Amino acid sequence: MDILPADASPPPQASHITHRKDYQPPAWLVPDAALTFDLGAKRTKVSARLNVVRGAGPRGPLILNAEALELLSVSVGGRKLSADDYSYADDRLTLVIEGDEAVVETEVRIAPDRNTQLMGLYASGGILCTQCEAEGFRRITPFPDRPDILSRYTVTLRADRTDYPVLLSNGDPGELRDLGDGRHEIMWTDPHPKPCYLFAAVAGKLAALKDSFTTMSGRIVALGIWVRPGDEPRCQHAMRALKDSMAWDERTYGREYDLDVFNIVAVDDFNFGAMENKGLNIFNSKYVLADRETATDTDFDNIAAIVAHEYFHNWTGNRITCRDWFQLSLKEGLTVFRDQSFSADHGSAAVKRIQDVRTLRIAQFAEDAGPLAHSIRPDSYQEISNFYTSTIYNKGAEVIRMMATLAGAERYRAGTDLYFERHDGEAATCEDWISAIEDGAALDLSQFRRWYTQAGTPTVNATLTHDADARTATLTLSQDLPNVPNAGGRKPMHIPLKTALFGRESGARLGKERLIELKDAAVQIDFGGIEETPILSINRAFSAPVSVKATRAPGELAFLSAHDDDPFARYEAMQELMSDWLVKRARGEGEDAAAIIDAVTRTLDDQSLDDAFRAEAILTPADTLIVDRIGTDVSPRAVVQARRTLRKTMLSGAGHERLMRIIESGRGGSFDLSPEAKGKRRLRAVALGLLFADPGEEAIAAAAALYDKADNMTDRMAAMTALAGSDTAERVRVLADFHARFRSDANVIDKWFTVQAMAETGDPLATTQHLMAHEDYSASNPNRFRALIGGFAANMPGFHAEGGAGYRFLADQILTVDRINPQTAARFVAPLGRWRRFRQDDAAAMRAELQRMLDAPGLSKDVREMAEKSLA
Ligand code: 0A1
Ligand code: ZN
């Protein structure tokens, strides 16, 4: 693979800021685009014939984005232009066109095998594939690369028959024709006008798992999941998920598929999870291939969720796309909400909610409190690829969820029906969505709109008082909006809070759950007929993405952890108990853990709770959440120490025997993916993890046995993860065995790298550096880089080791990968951007690394934006 040496890198470009308020409709539209590809890994020729007509924007020349292209020819109206007739500079090809329409033809040459950024047309292990969102199409052919230009595509693919027997693109295929010279060709026609970021083409030696789906109106859709020959049987789970998704979208949103073909292709080199190209989704192979020997239950769940996500984009993203990239959450927030609902409907809804909230808090709350805070519809950006954030995706989904909560199921559906009716075939805005929901669901969202413009996580303060004589309770609520960068205003938000009261004596719920709509800065709400001391359960099911600070009497959290009938709230009470303890401990304040031990043992012994819930509830909160709670001047080492102490205390409180019983129970039965079976394995893994807070011989033997006898990857990984964190001979044996067993499977070897990079035993930095020298390590494969370097960045004691060596190491790795793949590099800056949280020495060392990156010659715009904003 070609990697430019440092001194050959282009000089840094001045950063350009794009503002939402500057949106102008396009000067030119492209109703039809005909593309012909003469494909080859070293050289590909792309010929384009575009019908262009003037659009509603200001009259001007036709400007085609063109990046990393070797321009061979340009013609307008059949006349070939000389170099004096056009300008090609700064990645733009500018043509002056006299009339109001024209036929523009271009020919360019590109080098897929030198495309290490994985944007545009690139090679992944012998397969040629494309990635165009957000601005990759301009690296394939000159084109006005913006999402509000919708074109009808015909695509001809020509390639060597032996190297590229399978040729795929969007829409419906024509006949495969032999060209007689060792090559063949096929034409794909997509009848649906689409933005160029949804274009896709794939060529390679691929085999498919095939199936079909009959839509609600009787259309028979041919389904194919294309993978390396031999891997077809490992696509069964993805295929099941695809068919479930198609049925679910018909049932739940009334949305039917609209082509005769739907293909998915898996590739090993991919910047993100997957991409929703029209009729031809391209996936990171990690989110397609699965069988019980190689995929964990989490992998299985992720595969189903991502297959669903990309499929659901067909309506929310493709049929209705985004007018500009500021509207990204229009498709992403909505589609995440849809995939979350799909997963909830196909498994344990409570556990799904708990997991989604955990992700939101770890990734998004941190982002929303830091230097990169932005609203879900930002006002400006530099590099659009840096804006595929947890805020756009996960907070965006929470905002949609709140609308659905406010409307109720039926009215929400009326709102979405109206949205599809109004905007099908258009490039729409977030405002279009909000208006459709307002009109269709009969809601007033005027204040609610602030969720789109204001950044930062609101805090809701809650105090409940009880007047025993009057038999009333009064709930006082207030909201604080944080002062974050790009806050976009700090006016009171419209916050839906599911709330209930419980009786301390009876343990029962007092009356029904209420949906309180907090709109004012502060408010009082009265509850009547409250005879016994009430206990407050608020933000049940996490009905709003806020932090709740409730004034609580001692014992209230323990009460809720035992009695709340909302599983999320019950889980939350346990997390709060543990978080309070950890925060105090990390600050050096002593605290008795009796209430936690009591809650943990009670939860473990409560057979009425399902296993997956019990596992989630006894997990200690992530270190990063404790860091965020403490807020400033945090000693990362003290947080790690506090967590270790708590886990040891929980272990001795719960007792080895109780945990051993859980580990042994239900093993050896036949494997299945039912929620019950998955729950058992999850609880077993969590119990084993807790046992390893202070592992004795028995624990080590149990883990080794679990590893050796495992008939599935979930158990095997649980055992290997536990052992990897211990300083034992079994650690060495099991890690070596795992590598030997799975050496030919890249996605499994990624796990092997991650487990070791995250292990807290020994010197994590030395372990990680040692692994970088392993023959299987490669910085140019994003999965492998994420597995090892991302694993290390998540290793608290390793990354935050005293003296700053972990920070220096991460910065070095970012600089290395920046030369290969700037988008991937930029995603690793965030851990250093958290410096404000930490003690002065740590913070200074983190800042120094951010500065060192900025001073490095040839730094990409992507990393520059992240590092600059992190320091600001
Ligand atoms: N739209 C995709 C996310 C995605 C974005 C950019 C990519 O390439 C750099 C790839 C995928 C989704 O939401 O799944
Ligand atoms: Zn998406």
State whether 449 and 482 are in the same domain.
no
**What is the mean predicted confidence (pLDDT) over 516-531?**
98
- Quick one: 531 and 597 in the same domain? no
In a domain, 6, yes or no: no
My answer on whether omega of the bond before 642 falls inside 30° of 0, hence cis, is no
Domain annotation covers residue 11: no
Atom 5 of ligand 1: nearest residue by CA position? 133
Q: What is the pLDDT of residues 234-257, one digit of tens each?
A: 999 999 999 999 999 999 999 999
Number of domains the chain is built from: 4
Q: Can you give the pLDDT at residue 10? A: 46
Same domain, 449 and 465: no
Q: With respect to residue 9, please indicate whether it lies within any of the assigned structural domains.
A: no
* 8 A C-beta contact, residue 831 and residue 868: no
Q: Are residues 595 and 713 in the same domain?
A: yes
**CATH number of the domain that residue 418 is part of:** 1.10.390.10
Burial per residue of 373-406, b for 16 or more beta-carbon CB atoms within 10 angstroms, e otherwise: bbbbbbeebbbbbbbbbbbbbbbbbbbbbbbbbb
Residue 235 has a pLDDT of: 99
Angle, helix 409-423 to helix 430-441, in steps of 10 degrees? 130
Instruction: Tell whether 471 and 442 lie within a shared domain.
Output: no
Same-domain pairing of 601 and 710:
yes
Report the CATH number at residue 791.
Answer: 1.25.50.10
270 CA from centroid of ligand 1 (Å): 10
Instruction: Indicate if the pLDDT at residue 801 is higher than 90.
Output: yes
Ligand 2 centroid, distance to 190 Cα (angstroms)? 21
Element of type H or E holding 845: helix 840-855
CA distance 37 to 52: 20
Give the mean pLDDT of 94-118.
98
Q: Are residues 449 and 463 in the same domain?
A: no
Smallest CA-to-CA distance from 77 within 113, 115, 50 is with 50
Identify the domain boundary among 236, 263, 285.
Answer: 285
257 found inside a domain: yes
Residues 821 and 738 in one domain: yes
Residue to mutate (ligand 1; options 117, 121, 133; most atoms within 8 A of CB): 133
Q: What is the pLDDT of residue 8?
A: 38
- Examine the domain organization and report whether 763 and 782 are in the same domain: yes
Residue 778, in any domain of the structure:
yes
Contact in structure between 582 and 620 (CB atoms under 8 Å): yes
Work out the number of other CB atoms within 10 angstroms of the CB of residue 212: 12
Indicate the DSSP class of residue 713: H
- Tell me: the pLDDT tens digits for 265-306? 999 999 999 999 999 999 999 999 999 999 999 999 999 999
- Atom number of ligand 1 nearest to Cα 823: 9
The 10s digit of each residue's pLDDT in 190-230 is 999 999 999 999 999 999 999 999 999 999 999 999 999 99
Cβ atoms 606, 567 nearer than 8 A? no
Same-domain status, 516 and 379: no
Query: In this structure, is residue 310 part of a structural domain?
Result: no
CA of 756 to the centre of ligand 2 (A): 30
Residue where one domain finishes, among candidates 453, 476, 504: 453
pLDDT band, very low/low/confident/very high, at 7 (cuts 50, 70, 90): very low
> Distance between CA 866 and CA 187 in Å, rounded?
42
Domain stop point among 230, 264, 285 = 285
Who has greater pLDDT, 665 or 784?
784
Distance 391 CA to ligand 2 centre (A): 13
Residue 64: which domain range? 18-285
Whether residues 395 and 511 fall in one domain: no
15 pLDDT more than 80:
no
Residue 667: pLDDT band (50, 70, 90) is confident
Q: What is the pLDDT of residues 325-344, one digit of tens each?
A: 999 999 999 999 999 999 99
Confidence tier at 14 by pLDDT (50, 70, 90): low
CATH number of the domain enclosing 478: 2.60.40.1840
pLDDT confidence of 579, banded at 50, 70, 90? very high
What is the arithmetic mean of pLDDT over 609-622? 97
Record the pTM.
0.98
Q: Supply the mean pLDDT for the chain.
A: 97
User: What are the backbone angles phi and psi of residue 151, rounded to the nearest 5°?
Assistant: -130, 150
Identify whether 787 is part of a domain: yes
Ligand 1 pocket mutation, candidates 275, 282, 387, criterion most atoms within 8 A of CB: 275
Q: Which residues contact 855 (CB under 8 A, 6 or more apart)?
A: none
What tens digit of pLDDT does each residue of 439-464 get?
A: 999 999 999 999 999 999 999 999 99
Q: Are residues 328 and 239 in the same domain?
A: no
CATH (domain of 231)? 2.60.40.1730
Note the pLDDT of residue 239: 99
| 10 within domain boundaries | no
Using CA atoms, how far apart are residues 509 and 534, in angstroms rounded to an integer? Answer: 9
Check 105, 185, 232, 310 and give the catalytic one: 310
Strand-pair partners of 2? none
pLDDT at 6 over 60: no
The whole-angstrom separation of Cα 199 and Cα 171 is 10
Handedness of CA 483, 489, 490, 493 (dihedral sign): negative
